[in-house]
A and B are shown apart, each in its own frame.
Chain A
Amino acid sequence: MTPALVRIRGLHKHFGRHQVLEGIDLDVPAGSVTVLLGPSGSGKSTLLRCVNHLEKPDAGFVEVGGEIIGYRRDGERLRELPDRAVTRQRAKIGMVFQQFNLFPHKTVLENIVEGQLAAGVRRKAAESRASELLAKVGLAGREASYPRQLSGGQQQRVAIARAVANDPQLILFDEPTSALDPEMVGEVLGVMKDLAAAGLTMIVVTHEIGFAREAADQVVFLDGGRIVEAGPPGEVLANPRNERARAFLSAVL
């Protein structure tokens, strides 16, 4: 078995008095696709956002590629890293958002170039890589368009190209197709399947059970801040043991 690229242990997070994550343990092997399922409010986004330190956990840790995210070990303590170090860690973890979050004042090309420039890539090289990626997501020739001139599906494909431009070792998807009109879901899932086939490690929050069945190596079911069921899609999706998981699946299928 391949060693886990992502190791999450004892992760806790609360907002105010609301305990959102109550001890998450999860391994994501390198090159695998993990799909997170669960009802709204179960903590899927929060878990994903702890992985690239957009949220700080209260307890527990996330390790990616052997590095603890956001902290460094100091004897019995985990000390939070300076901004600069967190920034460097984030550069190696891509993220795709439900609302795309493309930079509206920048062209498609500039959107994909921006992260590369921050990582020290020369502009020329960054631009040719951006064009290459655009072609891969089926948007060759749209370099000079602004995000608002594209359809939702096209915008999300640009966002995916942007997220992979720095060759991340891991990419996080938070409901990438939930804001799309139904006829555009397929094109985005198609790009994601291509990435999975190319061996990228992905953690995907989605309600697209078809995608989970086809592309996932493991499916994880979250409820009330805990993992209540995890395993290969064949098992978890076909006959879930957990009652909540069963109810959720019969509702979305």
Chain B
Amino acid sequence: MSLAVEPTDGVDTLDRRPGDDELVAARLVARRKPGQWISALVALVAVAALVHSVLTNPHFQWDVVRYFFLRPSILEGLLLTIWLTVAVVVSGYILGIGLAVMRLSRNPVLATVSFGFVWFFRSVPPLVQLLLWSNLASLYPTLSLDVPFVHHFATIHTAHLFTALLAAYVGLTLDVAAFSAEIIRGGLLSVENGQSEAAKSLGLGKARIFWRIVLPQAMPAIVPASGNMVIGMLKATSIISVLAAHDLLHSVQLIYEQNYLIIPLLLVATIWYIILTTVLSIGQYFVERHYARGKGGPAPRGLWEVARGSLPFAGTVRRDLAGLV
């Protein structure tokens, strides 16, 4: 037997350099990711257990939830929550735009006033503000408008002025104004200076430049943060139940204080808040898509595609599945 080592068949196939043609023709197999599947399985089991217990635990009393879900007093509360949110957000953002523009203006007094406003109202918790405003009567029992020569032209008693609702409206509006001013300022700063210079050189006036050139380009930076903020405010309106204003939370509180069905009634409120938040999120999606016009990147996807893309086994996950088998 010769000492020369004869390559065995197996070694031969391993060591032989494959030709380029073979490599070109080879099928590409993605890396397997068993960890991803194990963690997904664990999470699914946990979610299933949670859902099962929520649906079958008699303490949740889903029949009670169903019974109260569309009661008129609940819907009244819901309505108040909705319009208070709308009113607060609209007036807060109008103020916020003004504050942001003041802060960016070349006038140091305006800039400082805006800075001070934002600093103060960002510092005070909304609930504290709410209590302060509703107790304004003890600070300034009357607000009077004095006109020279006509003493006490008009006097308003603050106790009548600041109902719970008005206190909430004012307090939350100032809160939104302070936070939105910062969001808007950040957005405005993200727009290049060349944009307003080009607009100026075309003979556009200041207001036109702001509303038609700068603000629309600031929107992509403003909208996501504002979506958060509006949803936060929707929920923050529930603090007015402290002042016994009849919002969504207070309307369920009134009922469970009588029948002690606390959990199902809180579920009623929770589900309504989830529905409203969902509607707002969908709205945000469309607003974002609107302001993404002219941006590079892939064509905007439809809402359904986005939703499906984030569902397990329907969108991106399917590609991973291919790697496993």
Binding site for B on A (CB under 8 A): 52, 54, 83-84, 87-88, 90-95, 97, 99, 101-107, 114-115, 118-119, 146-148, 162-163, 166, 172
Binding site for A on B (CB under 8 A): 192, 194-195, 197-206, 208, 212-213, 216-217, 291, 293-296
Q: Are A91 and B294 neighbours in the complex by a CB distance under 8 Å?
A: no
B203: which of A90, A107, A148 is its contact (CB, 8 Å)? A90
**Contacts A104-B294, A148-B296 known; A114 to B217 CB distance under 8 Å?**
no
16 contacts between A and B (CB under 8 A): A83-B205, A84-B205, A97-B194, A99-B194, A101-B198, A103-B217, A104-B294, A104-B295, A105-B216, A105-B293, A105-B294, A106-B294, A118-B203, A146-B293, A148-B296, A163-B201
Q: Measured between alpha carbons, how far is A52 from B202 in the docked complex, in Å? A: 10
A54 and chain B: residue at smallest CB distance: B197
Q: Are A88 and B203 neighbours in the complex by a CB distance under 8 Å?
A: yes
Residues of B within 8 A of A102 (CB): 198
**Contacts A97-B198, A101-B194, A148-B294 known; A114 to B216 CB distance under 8 Å?**
no
Q: Measured between alpha carbons, how far is A93 from B201 in the docked complex, in Å? A: 7
Residues of A within 8 A of B293 (CB): 105, 146
Residues of A within 8 A of B201 (CB): 52, 54, 90, 93-95, 163, 172
Residues of B within 8 A of A119 (CB): 203
Q: How far is the CB of A234 from chain B (nearest CB, A)?
A: 32
A159 and chain B: residue at smallest CB distance: B198
Q: How far is the CB of A77 from chain B (nearest CB, A)?
A: 22
7 A-B pairs with least C-beta separation: A91-B203, A115-B202, A101-B198, A95-B201, A146-B294, A101-B194, A104-B294
Q: How far is the CB of A213 from chain B (nearest CB, A)?
A: 28
Q: How far is the CB of B79 from chain A (nearest CB, A)?
A: 36
Residues of A within 8 A of B295 (CB): 104, 148
Q: Are B202 and A91 neighbours in the complex by a CB distance under 8 Å?
A: yes
Q: How far is the CB of A53 from chain B (nearest CB, A)?
A: 8
Q: Are B203 and A101 neighbours in the complex by a CB distance under 8 Å?
A: no
Q: How far is the CB of B229 from chain A (nearest CB, A)?
A: 23
A116 and chain B: residue at smallest CB distance: B202
A104 and chain B: residue at smallest CB distance: B294
